C-alpha cells in the first residue's frame, strides 16, 4: 500500500516532517523561509521539495503543479505558523496582536482552501486557542466541510521527556479524527540522555564551550544536583538580581534525572532563561542534549552556520517528532479507511 502524502508548511528544521515520516507518511513538500532552518531541513530530508520562501509570496497552485497534486488528492496538510506573537512571554509583555506573523494562520488557511486535503493538522502555542484568529480559522474550516478536533495537550503524556503544552488541531474532511494514543508512562531525562552514544558525545553540537564568569561558575557548582535550585542557596549566596525578583524561580535550576525536563526553548543553553542546568554536571545542557529532549535522534543534523544561540533557538522552536508521530498515526488510520467508511466520534470532544 502506498504511503499517504503530506506537505509541511512552516517546516522549521523538520521536527514535524520527521514525526510524519515515522508515522508512515511520505512528506513531498515543505515551505520555510529561514535559511538556517532550511539548511538543516534539507540535510535531513533530502527527497522533499523545499520552497525557501516567505509563504505570503508563494501560491498554492505553484506547489500543486511542482508536486503534481490535484485539488482534493493530498492526504495531509500540516504546519505550525510562527507562534511568537501568541507566546506566554509576549502576552505577559502586552504585545499580543502586534506581531504581523500572527496573521500567518490565514496563509495556512489559504493553502487549505486551494489544496483541499483530506486532513488538516495545525500545531501552535496554547494562547492561540483564545485568539479571534483561531476562531475564524475553525469557522472557515467547518465551512469547507472539515470536522474539527482541537485541544491543548501536554507532550509529556505522549512519550516526550519534556513538559510542553501545545495546541493541536486535527480536522478531517467529513469526520472527527481522535488524537493519538498517550504513552503508558512518562519518559525521563535520564532515559533520553542514555541515548547519547559515543559518536553523539564527540560531535560539535555536544561540545561547544560555555563562556561564564568565575562568579557564575561558582554559583552553578553550589546548586544541589538532581533538581536543585538557586533558591536552595539562601538569599546571601544568590545574585543581586535574583534577590530582587520573586518570579522566574526556575532560573539557574537543575533538571531532575527521574522527571521530565521543562519546556525546551530557544534559551535552553542559558541558565538565566530557565531550569536548563544539567542534573549533575556544572553546565547547561548541550545543544545535542536539548535536541534529544525534543526527541530528535542522536544523528539528526543541526546547522551551526550562525553560531550556538541561533541553533538553540531553532531546536527550541521545533516540534517534538515523537509527539507528532503519535498524532499522525491516528491520521494515517483515517486516511487509509477514508476510501471506505471511517468510524469516528460523532461530536467534537474539544467543545
Predicted pLDDT at 57: 97
How many angstroms separate the CA atoms of 13 and 39, rounded? 8
The number of angstroms, rounded, from the C-alpha of 208 to the middle of its chain's C-alpha atoms is 23
Contact by Cβ (8 Å): 180, 167? no
Q: How is residue 34 written as a grid cell?
A: 529561514
pLDDT, position 350: 37
Q: What is the DSSP string of 118-183?
A: SEEEEEE-GGGGGSHHHHHHHHHHHHTTEEEEEEEEEGGGGT-SB--EEEEEEEEETB--PPPPPP
Handedness of CA 104, 142, 156, 222 (dihedral sign): positive
Do the bridges between strand 119-124 and strand 76-79 make them parallel or antiparallel, or are there none, so unpaired?
parallel
User: Nearest 5 degrees, angle CA 102-CA 108-CA 110?
Assistant: 115
Residue 59: alpha-carbon gap to chain centroid: 25
pLDDT tens digits along 300-325: 999 999 999 999 999 999 999 999 99
- The tens digit of pLDDT for each residue in 255-312 reads 999 999 999 999 999 998 999 999 999 999 999 999 999 999 999 999 999 999 999 9
pTM over 0.75: yes
Q: Strand 26-31 relative to strand 49-51: parallel, antiparallel, unpaired? A: parallel
pLDDT on residue 197: 82
Is pLDDT at 205 greater than 50 in this prediction?
yes
Domains along the chain with CATH numbers: 5-186+319-337 (3.40.50.150), 189-316 (3.90.120.10)
Spatial distance between the Cα atoms of 88 and 109, rounded to a whole number of angstroms: 24
Residues marked active site are found at: 83
Amino acid at each position: 500500500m502506498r504511503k499517504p502524502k503530506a506537505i509541511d508548511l512552516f517546516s522549521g528544521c523538520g521536527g514535524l516532517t520527521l514525526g510524519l515520516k515515522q508515522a508512515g507518511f511520505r512528506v513531498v513538500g515543505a515551505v520555510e523561509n529561514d535559511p538556517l532552518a532550511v539548511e538543516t531541513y534539507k540535510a535531513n530530508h533530502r527527497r522533499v521539495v523545499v520552497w525557501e520562501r516567505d509563504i505570503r509570496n508563494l501560491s498554492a497552485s505553484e506547489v500543486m503543479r511542482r508536486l503534481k497534486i490535484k485539488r482534493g488528492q493530498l492526504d495531509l496538510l500540516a504546519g505550525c505558523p510562527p507562534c511568537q506573537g501568541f507566546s506566554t512571554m509576549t502576552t505577559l509583555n502586552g504585545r499580543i496582536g502586534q506581531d504581523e506573523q500572527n496573521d500567518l494562520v490565514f496563509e495556512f488557511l489559504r493553502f487549505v482552501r486551494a489544496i483541499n486535503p483530506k486532513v488538516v493538522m495545525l500545531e501552535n502555542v496554547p494562547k492561540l486557542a483564545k485568539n479571534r484568529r483561531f476562531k475564524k480559522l475553525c469557522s472557515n474550516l467547518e465551512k469547507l466541510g472539515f470536522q474539527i478536533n482541537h485541544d491543548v495537550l501536554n507532550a509529556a503524556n505522549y512519550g516526550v521527556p519534556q513538559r510542553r503544552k501545545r495546541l493541536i488541531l486535527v480536522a478531517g474532511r467529513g469526520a472527527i479524527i481522535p488524537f493519538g494514543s498517550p504513552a503508558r508512562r512518562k519518559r525521563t531525562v535520564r532515559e533520553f540522555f542514555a541515548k547519547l552514544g559515543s559518536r553523539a558525545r564527540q560531535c560539535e553540537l555536544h561540545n561547544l564551550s560555555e563562556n561564564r564568569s568565575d562568579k557564575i561558575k561558582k554559583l552553578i557548582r553550589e546548586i544541589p544536583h538532581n533538581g536543585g535550585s538557586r533558591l536552595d542557596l539562601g538569599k546571601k549566596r544568590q545574585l543581586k538580581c535574583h534577590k530582587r525578583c520573586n518570579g522566574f524561580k526556575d532560573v539557574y535550576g537543575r533538571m531532575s534525572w527521574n522527571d521530565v525536563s521543562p519546556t525546551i526553548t530557544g534559551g535552553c543553553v542559558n541558565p538565566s532563561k530557565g531550569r536548563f542546568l544539567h542534573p549533575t554536571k556544572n553546565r547547561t545542557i548541550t545543544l545535542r542534549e536539548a535536541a534529544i529532549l525534543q526527541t530528535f535522534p542522536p544523528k539528526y543534523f543541526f546547522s551551526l552556520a550562525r553560531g550556538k544561540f541561533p541553533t538553540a533557538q531553532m531546536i527550541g522552536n521545533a516540534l517534538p517528532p515523537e509527539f507528532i508521530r503519535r498524532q499522525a498515526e491516528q491520521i494515517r488510520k483515517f486516511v487509509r479507511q477514508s476510501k471506505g467508511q471511517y468510524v469516528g466520534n460523532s461530536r467534537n470532544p474539544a467543545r
